[in-house]
Amino acid sequence: TQLLEQSPQFLSIQEGENLTVYCNSSSVFSSLQWYRQEPGEGPVLLVTVVTGGEVKKLKRLTFQFGDARKDSSLHITAAQPGDTGLYLCAGFSGGYNKLIFGAGTRLAVHP
Amino acid sequence: DSGVTQTPKHLITATGQRVTLRCSPRSGDLSVYWYQQSLDQGLQFLIQYYNGEERAKGNILERFSAQQFPDLHSELNLSSLELGDSALYFCASSVEGQGKNEQFFGPGTRLTVL
């Protein structure tokens, strides 16, 4: 069974700080996705990383896919209160149809 | 707004009862996915339908069933409800059936079983 482990579970920081969230697995994934979920809403896709070693940037967010395609990280520079939310990593399993989610990192950015 | 609609937004019921959750996918999307999100299990894939046919199954209990209708909306039926079924249930849709395409999530239905 493919599992995705995220760390840390919770992160509470001040506005302007940098942070990194990790997503690790013992299995190889063809691609990994990162979602952000806000209270009362469904997850929203931020990025998909496909190639080992790939780095993608989305404004202040930098996503990296490990060379072996078993892990990924999300780095946020100069965090803002609007970044608050649950960050989920997810990977496809079983021929692309089943999306496996990590437990998530709950981020709180305080003004 | 993802374009995926789910009704009802909240549902409170008693153990042993049966409920139906409804999902309308984005216009043009043929695939519908159901997920359950609970505090202890996280977000878990339940089942996928593509153009009316079951395409993939995840950790869906036998007490749960789903279907996708000709107009592509989908319903998730939960029966003999237990306290542990209390969770957020999300529907997502995508254009194609292979799942590699982006899945757009609805706002969810919060089910509380008392």
- Which residue has 């950015």 as its token pair? A109
* Contact between A102 and B42 using a beta-carbon 8 Å cutoff: yes
Residue-wise pLDDT for A28-70, tens only, equals 888 899 999 998 899 999 999 989 999 999 999 999 999 999 9
Do residues B29 and B105 lie in contact, with contact meaning Cβ atoms separated by under 8 Å? no
Q: What is the DSSP secondary-structure string of B10-61?
A: EEEE-TT--EEEEEEPPTT--EEEEEEEETTTEEEEEEEEETTEEEEE-S--
| Tokens coding A17 | 């700080």
pLDDT in tens, B3-21: 999 999 999 999 999 999 9
Give the model's pLDDT for residue B2.
86
- Please tell me if residue B4 touches chain A, with a CB cutoff of 8 Å: yes
Q: What is the pLDDT of residue A17?
A: 97
List chain A residues with CB under 8 Å of B58: 98
Q: What band does B63 get if pLDDT is binned at 50, 70 and 90?
A: very high
Residue that has been written with the tokens 């409804």 in this structure: B22
pLDDT of residue B1: 84
Cβ pair B102:A97 closer than 8 A: no
